[in-house]
Amino acid sequence: MNELNVLNLLNGRLGSEGSMLVRYFEDLEVWKEGRRLTNRMYEVTEDARFSKDFGLRDQIRRAAVSIMSNIAEGFERGGNQEFLQFLYIAKGSCGEVRSQLYVALDRWYIGQNEFNELFKSFKKLSVMISNLIDYLKSSRMKGEKFKKPPYKTLREEMEEMTKK
């Protein structure tokens, strides 16, 4: 994800032509990629040999699920500082998955090509999360929960009060 895409995404637009507002975590490209990779890990760990190593299978699945879950939870908190905390956790989970991929490779649960593909994909996701973190850290935007309500004139306030 380049800087322009991050800027567009955080300004409420998807892509350079987009007019779709980012209101839900499901709109975030970084979350979509996390979801795709989580499903990919479930596919990989269903293999006969891999699926019998319950500890590694469950741990790598939990780490993959943690990535998309922390992105979602942080986004839903509505503030940049909390979102940043959860993005750091998601980034850590990317590292955890990559580390566990080495175990899967060493135990011959996956081949070198599959390892390379998955490792590269999780590394790319980690970079996407890093780019989002960097942007949020340098942004003056504090988050949805800190938005001020629209300014109303005294007349509008009075009219609203008399309607009740």
Taking only the tens of pLDDT, the chain with its 164 residues reads 344 444 445 434 334 444 346 689 999 999 999 999 999 999 999 999 999 999 999 999 999 999 999 999 999 998 889 999 999 999 999 999 999 999 999 999 999 999 999 999 999 999 999 999 998 898 876 666 556 566 667 777 777 778 86
Q: How far apart are CA 52 and CA 50, in angstroms?
A: 5
Q: What is the pLDDT of residue 161?
A: 76
Closest listed residue to residue 1, CA positions, set 133, 128, 90, 130: 128
Closest listed residue to residue 104, CA positions, set 96, 93, 115: 115
For the domain bounded by 3-163, which CATH number is listed? Answer: 1.20.1440.60
Widest Cα–Cα separation across the chain: 74
